Structure 1
Amino acid sequence: MFNPRFLIISLGNPLPKYESLHSAGHFVLNGLTKVLHQPDFREVTLGKQYCMVSQGPKYTLVQSPTYMNVSGGFVASAWQELVRKYGAESLSLVIVHDELEKDFGVVKLLPWDRSPRGHNGVKSVRASVSPKKYPESPFARIAVGIGRPEARDAATVSRYVLHKISREHRTALEEEAPWEVAKCLMDLEKQWREDVQGSSGGNTGP
Structure 2
Amino acid sequence: MSYLLLKIRYAFSVQRVPNGTHLIVGLGNPGNIYENTRHNAGQQFVKHLAKEFGIKMSDGSNGSIGSFQHIIVFNPLSFMNSSGHAIKKIADKANIQTSNIIIVHDDLENLPGRCKIKQGGSAEGHNGLKSIIQYMDDKFIRLKIGIGRPNSKDPAIVSDYVMSKLDYEPSQQAFKQGIMLARQLFKF
- TM-score clears 0.5: yes
SS of the equivalent of 2:103 reads strand
CA contact 2:27–2:75 (8 Å) conserved in 1: yes
2:28 maps to amino acid: G
CA contact 1:108–1:184 (8 Å) conserved in 2: no
| Structure exhibiting the larger radius of gyration computed from Cα positions | 1
1:88 positional shift: 4.2
Distance 2:62 2:83 in 1: 14
The equivalent of 2:182 in structure 1 is 185
1:171 positional shift: 5.6
1:62 and 2:74 correspond: yes
2:50 maps to amino acid: T
Sequence identity, in percent? 29
The equivalent of 1:153 in structure 2 is 154
Gap regions ≥5 residues in structure 2 = 1-17
Match for residue 21 of structure 1 among 32, 38, 46:
38
CA contact 1:27–1:170 (8 Å) conserved in 2: no
User: How is 1:14-163 mapped onto 2 (pairs within 5 angstroms)?
Assistant: 14-19=30-35, 20-35=37-52, 37-44=53-60, 49-83=61-95, 88=97, 92-113=100-121, 115-130=122-137, 139-163=140-164
Distance 2:184 2:91 in 1: 21
1:119 maps to amino acid: H
Go from structure 1 to structure 2 and tell me whether the alpha carbon gap of 1:8 and 1:153 turns closer, same or farther (over 3 Å shift).
same
CA contact 2:112–2:174 (8 Å) conserved in 1: no
Distance 1:24 1:157 in 2: 15
The equivalent of 1:204 in structure 2 is none
SS of the equivalent of 1:176 reads helix
CA contact 1:38–1:54 (8 Å) conserved in 2: no
**RMSD between aligned residues:** 2.3
SS of the equivalent of 1:17 reads helix
Go from structure 1 to structure 2 and tell me whether the alpha carbon gap of 1:97 and 1:119 turns closer, same or farther (over 3 Å shift).
same
1:34 maps to amino acid: K
Match for residue 9 of structure 1 among 20, 25, 36:
25
Gap regions ≥5 residues in structure 1 = 132-137, 191-206
Instruction: Give the alignment's TM-score, normalised by structure 1.
Output: 0.73
Deviations 1:166-201 (A, max 9, x none): 5xx24643x4322211222234236xxxxxxxxxxx
Distance 2:97 2:160 in 1: 40
Deviations 1:119-158 (A, max 9, x none): 1101111111126xxxxxx721111010111011111001
1:38 positional shift: 3.7
1:108 positional shift: 1.0
Instruction: Give the alignment's TM-score, normalised by structure 2.
Output: 0.80
